[in-house]
Amino acid sequence: MKHLVILLAIFLTSSVHAEEVIQEEGVVTSSLPIVCENNEKLIKNLKEEYGEDLLFLGQNIVGPEDEGNVFTTVWINEKTMTWSLVITNKKENQSCFVGGGKLFSVFSKVIFRDSI
């Protein structure tokens, strides 16, 4: 899982900069299915429009300047079976909707104490 988060962070960083980016009223959109805006607006939208609740929060491993500021979250609505993947930079007050969809499975939790 740690490797997946690292690869996702690298992919997002390089992809967003490599694509044409359009910014309008604080919302950044690229040709990738990624939408970024201020933390509060994006989270409010997930909760109010989609009825999603936080399922997972993980601290990303990034450069030293962003250590402790970048997190990946997964939000779900158990009734409608929708889910959303969001990466947040607290220091920059920015969250990016990376992807989402319908139908999901939650597996039993496995915690590797050595990797925490």
Q: Is 24:81 a contact under the CB 8 Å cutoff?
A: no
pLDDT in tens, the chain (116 residues): 444 444 344 444 434 443 455 666 667 666 677 889 999 999 999 999 999 999 999 998 877 777 788 999 999 999 999 999 999 999 999 999 999 999 988 887 666 665 54
Q: Give the SS3 label for residue 30.
A: strand
CA angle 59–69–50, rounded 5-degree value = 70
Other CB atoms within a 10 A radius of the CB of residue 37 amount to 19
Each as own residue / partner, the long-range contacts of residues 10-16 (CB below 8 Å, 24 or more positions apart, any chain) are 12/87, 12/96, 12/98, 16/96
| pLDDT tens string 50-74 | 999 999 999 988 777 777 889 999 9
Q: Where are the beta strands (DSSP E) in 44-105?
A: 53-59, 70-77, 82-89, 94-102
Kindly report the average pLDDT of the chain as a whole number. Answer: 78
Q: What is the pLDDT of residue 34?
A: 84
The domain segmentation of the chain, as residue ranges, is 2-110
Which residues sit opposite 97 in a β-bridge? 35, 86
